[in-house]
Chain A
Amino acid sequence: MKRYFNNFGERVIEGIITLSGTVTSITVLLIVFFLFKEGLGVFSQTPVAEGSVIAVNKQNPVKELTAHQVKEIWDQNITNWKQLGGQDAPIKLFEVDDITDYYTDEQIGAEFEYLPQRLSELVAKEPHILAFFPDEYLPKEFAGRQIKLDNVSPGSFLGGREWYPTIQPAVQLGVLPLILGTLWVSLGAILIALPLGLATSIYLAEIANPKVRNFLKPVIELLAGIPSVVYGFFGLVVVVPLIQDVFGLPVGETALAGSIILGIMALPTIISVSEDAMRTTPRAMKEASLALGANKWQTIYRVIIPYSISGISTAAILGIGRAIGETMAVLMVTGNASVIPHTFLEPVRTIPATIAAELGEAPQGGIHFQALFALGCILFLMTLAINMTVDLVSAKKKANRS
Chain B
Amino acid sequence: MSFGNTPSAHRKKRLTQNIAFFIFRLLSFSVVAILVVILGFILVRGISVISWEFLSEAPREGMTEGGIFPAIVGTLCLVVGSMLFAFPIGILSGIYINEYAKDSWFKRFVKLMTNNLAGIPSIVFGLFGMALFVHQFGFGDSILAGSLTLGLLALPVVIRTTEEALKAIDNSFRIGSLALGATKWQTTRRVVLPMAFPNIITGLILSIGRVSGETAPILFTVAAYFLPKLPSSVFDQVMALPYHLYVISTSGTNIEASRAMAYGTAFVLIVIVLLANLLANWLRRYFGKKVKMN
A384 to B117 Cα, complex, angstroms: 9
| Complex interface residues of chain A between 364 and 390 (CB less than 8 A to chain B) | 364, 372-373, 376, 379-380, 383-384, 386-387
Whether A373 contacts B23 in the complex (CB less than 8 A), given A230-B245, A292-B3, comes out as: no
A23–B209 CB distance below 8 A? no
A25–B113 CB distance below 8 A? yes
- Select which of A6, A25, A226 is within 8 A of B213 by beta carbon: A226
- Is B200 part of the contact surface with A, judged by Cβ < 8 Å? no
> Which residues of A have CB within 8 Å of B276?
225
Output the nearest chain B residue to A235 by Cβ-Cβ distance. Answer: B38
| Complex interface residues of chain A between 1 and 34 (CB less than 8 A to chain B) | 6, 9-10, 13-14, 16-18, 20-25, 27-28, 30-31, 34
| Complex interface residues of chain A between 343 and 402 (CB less than 8 A to chain B) | 352, 355-356, 359-360, 364, 372-373, 376, 379-380, 383-384, 386-387, 391
> Which residues of A have CB within 8 Å of B95?
17, 20
> Which residues of B have CB within 8 Å of A250?
none
A229–B245 CB distance below 8 A? yes
Output the nearest chain B residue to A29 by Cβ-Cβ distance. Answer: B113
Interface majority SS (helix, strand, loop, mixed), chain A: helix
> Which residues of A have CB within 8 Å of B130?
359
Interface bracket on A: 35 or more
> Which residues of B have CB within 8 Å of A21?
92-93, 96-97, 100-101, 110
B245–A30 CB distance below 8 A? no
A271 to B96 Cα, complex, angstroms: 30
Could you tell me how many residues of chain B have their Cβ less than 8 Å away from some Cβ of chain A?
88
> Which residues of A have CB within 8 Å of B116?
28, 384, 387
B31–A267 CB distance below 8 A? yes
- Select which of A332, A364, A391 is within 8 A of B250 by beta carbon: A332
- Select which of B122, B131, B270 is within 8 A of A38 by beta carbon: B131
Output the nearest chain B residue to A387 by Cβ-Cβ distance. Answer: B119
- Is B273 part of the contact surface with A, judged by Cβ < 8 Å? yes
> Which residues of A have CB within 8 Å of B120?
28, 31, 325, 380, 383
> Which residues of A have CB within 8 Å of B269?
227, 229-230
Stretch of A110-118, A137-145, A170-178, A200-208 with 4 or more beta carbons under 8 angstroms from chain B? A200-208
B273–A227 CB distance below 8 A? yes
| Complex interface residues of chain B between 39 and 98 (CB less than 8 A to chain A) | 39, 41-42, 88-89, 92-93, 95-97
> Which residues of A have CB within 8 Å of B125?
31
Stretch of B152-160, B166-174, B190-198, B226-234 with 4 or more beta carbons under 8 angstroms from chain A? B152-160
A6–B266 CB distance below 8 A? no
B245–A233 CB distance below 8 A? yes
B155–A24 CB distance below 8 A? yes
> Which residues of B have CB within 8 Å of A360?
219-220
A204–B28 CB distance below 8 A? yes
A200–B128 CB distance below 8 A? no
- Is A219 part of the contact surface with B, judged by Cβ < 8 Å? yes
- Is B175 part of the contact surface with A, judged by Cβ < 8 Å? no
| Complex interface residues of chain B between 1 and 31 (CB less than 8 A to chain A) | 3, 5, 13-14, 16-17, 20-21, 23-25, 27-28, 30-31
4 smallest beta-carbon distances between A and B, as pairs: A227-B213, A325-B121, A21-B96, A20-B92
Chain A residues close to B by CB (< 8 Å):
6, 9-10, 13-14, 16-18, 20-25, 27-28, 30-31, 34-35, 37-38, 195-196, 199-200, 202-204, 207-208, 216, 218-223, 225-234, 236-238, 264, 267, 271, 292-298, 300, 321, 324-328, 331-332, 352, 355-356, 359-360, 364, 372-373, 376, 379-380, 383-384, 386-387, 391
Known: A195-B27, A297-B16. 14 other contacts (CB 8 A): A18-B96, A23-B155, A28-B120, A199-B27, A207-B24, A219-B31, A223-B31, A225-B209, A234-B42, A271-B31, A327-B122, A332-B246, A376-B127, A379-B123
A-B contact list, 11 entries, CB within 8 Å: A18-B96, A28-B113, A28-B116, A30-B128, A37-B131, A222-B39, A222-B273, A227-B269, A230-B269, A237-B259, A380-B124
